[in-house]
Amino acid sequence: SPRVLSGIQPTADSFHLGNYLGALRQWVALQDTHEAFYCVVDLHAITVDYEPAVLRRRCKVAAAQLLAMGVDPDRSTLFVQSQVPEHAELAWVLGSITGFGEAGRMTQFKDKSAKQGASAASVGLFTYPILQAADILLYTPEPGEGERDFQVPVGEDQRQHLELTRTLAQRFNHRFGTTFVVPEAYIPQGAAKIADLQEPLSKMSKSSSSPQGILDVLEESGPLRKKIMRSVTDTGTEVRYDPEEKPGVTNLLRIYSALAQTPVTDLEQRYAGSGYGQFKKDLAALVIDTFTPIRERTEKLLADERDLDRILARGAARAGEVARGTMDVVRDRVGFLGRG
Ligand code: TYM
C-alpha cells in the first residue's frame, strides 16, 4: 500500500508555525490515504550541543504535540527514532555508498557548521542527511509492479536532503538489486517556507536570533497576538502579495491563506483599503484558534504520561518490525552473514 514517512527534531520546547504549516498539517492529512510512519528524530538532535535530560523531556513533549495535532496512533505508527536501532544500522550502510564530496555539498550542513566554526562541527552533523535517508528508506513499500507511492511531507528546507535520499535509493538499487522505492518530497504550495516575523527574508527557525519572530504552537494567546501585531510589515499600508517589495506582508498573507484555506487574492480584496491593523488582528485570531486546542490537548497528554509511553512503545514495536524486515533484505543484498 502507499506509504508516508516523515520526521521532526525534538530541539525546542515547542514546534512552531513553520513546522506546522510546512509539514505537520500534511502529516495529519496523509493518514487518510497512506500507511503512515512518523518519527521524533532524537538521533539527529544529538549532533549539536544539548542536555540529556532536556532531550528526553522534549521527545515526550514532541510526541504529545503530534498526537494533539491529530496524528492518530490507531492509524499511524508514531515512534521515537532511537528506540529503533535499525536507523543507525542502515545509515552506516548508506554512508558507505555516499561520496564525501556529495555529503559536503549539503547546504544545511554548510550553514550550521559555519555558525559553529567549521572545525567545531561534529562528524554527526556532517553525516546527518545520510541518517535522514535511512529514516526514510527503512519504511520503503515493497518495490515492484503497481503501487509505488512513497511520500515524505516536509518543508522547502528539506528538499536537498530528499534529493540525496533519492540518489542513494537509486544507487543502492543499481548496485545491489532493487530494494527501495524511490521516495518523493511532498512539499506544500505557499506554506513551504514560512518566514520569521521580525526578519521576513529568513525562515522561521528554532535557531533564530529572537523569539519575537517565532510563533510557537504551545504559546499562550497573549504573546501570540503581541508577536503578530508587532510583526515587521513594510512601507505603505496596502495588504498586497509582493515577495520583492513587501516580504513581511507577503509572509503574513501566506500564513493567513494557509490557515484559512483561502486564496491570497481573496484576502487582498477583503483587506483592500483597511490597512495592516485589522488584517493582523484577524490573523492573530486565526492563529490562536488553531493553536489553543492543540496546546490544551498537549497539556492533557503530558499530565499523565502513561498513555503517551504506551503509545510510543507500541509505535516503536511496529516500526521495529518493519525496519527489521527491510534490514533483513539489505543485509542479505550487501553480503552480511545472517543475524547470528
Ligand atoms: P526539522 O525538525 O527542522 O523541521 C520539521 C519540519 O518542519 C519543516 N519546517 C518548515 N516548513 C516551512 N517553513 C519553515 N520556516 C519551516 N521550518 C521547518 C521542515 O522542512 C521539516 O519538514 N532533517 C529534518 C528532520 C528529519 C526528517 C527525516 C524529515 C529527520 N529524518 C526523515 C523527513 C524524513 C529536520 O531537521 O526537520
Residues of the chain with pLDDT under 70: 118, 145-148
Atom of ligand 1 at shortest range from CA of 23: 22
- Residue 203 known to be catalytic: yes
- Residue 300 known to be catalytic: no
Rounded Cα gap, residues 290 and 218, in angstroms: 11
Contact 339, 331 (CB under 8 A): yes
**What is the pLDDT at residue 191?**
96
Atom of ligand 1 at shortest range from CA of 195: 15
Q: Using a 6 Å cutoff on CB, does residue 19 contact ligand 1? A: yes
Rounded Cα gap, residues 157 and 336, in angstroms: 35
**What is the pLDDT at residue 119?**
79
**What is the pLDDT at residue 144?**
80
- For residue 275, how far is its CA from the centre of ligand 1 (angstroms)? 34
Q: What is the pLDDT of residues 72-122, one digit of tens each?
A: 999 999 999 999 999 999 999 999 999 999 999 999 999 888 887 767 899
Encoded amino acid at 37, one letter: F
203 is known to lie in a ligand binding site: yes
Hey, what's the cell of 50? 544539548
74 is known to lie in a ligand binding site: no
Contact 201, 195 (CB under 8 A): yes
ipTM of the modeled complex = 0.99
The one catalytic residue among 60, 193, 203, 246: 203
**What is the pLDDT at residue 262?**
97
Contact 224, 284 (CB under 8 A): yes
- For residue 158, how far is its CA from the centre of ligand 1 (angstroms)? 6
Q: Using a 6 Å cutoff on CB, does residue 73 contact ligand 1? A: no
Phi then psi for residue 77, to 5 deg, are -100, 110
**What is the pLDDT at residue 116?**
79
Say which residue the cell 535511512 belongs to. Answer: 134
**What is the pLDDT at residue 145?**
62
**What is the pLDDT at residue 232?**
94
64 Cβ contact partners less than 8 Å away, ≥ 6 residues apart: 298, 301, 302, 308
The per-residue DSSP string of 194-212 comes to: PBPSS-TTSB--TT-S-GG
- Residue 227 known to be catalytic: no
Give percent of the chain with pLDDT exceeding 70: 99
- For residue 118, how far is its CA from the centre of ligand 1 (angstroms)? 23
Angle (nearest 5°) at CA 283 between 280 and 285: 115
Q: Using a 6 Å cutoff on CB, does residue 213 contact ligand 1? A: no
Packed helices 52-69 and 275-303: angle between N→C axes, nearest 10 degrees? 110
Encoded amino acid at 60, one letter: K
pTM of the model: 0.97
Q: Using a 6 Å cutoff on CB, does residue 45 contact ligand 1? A: no
Which of 171, 80, 164 shows the shortest CA–CA distance to 129? Answer: 164
Strand partners, 186: 153
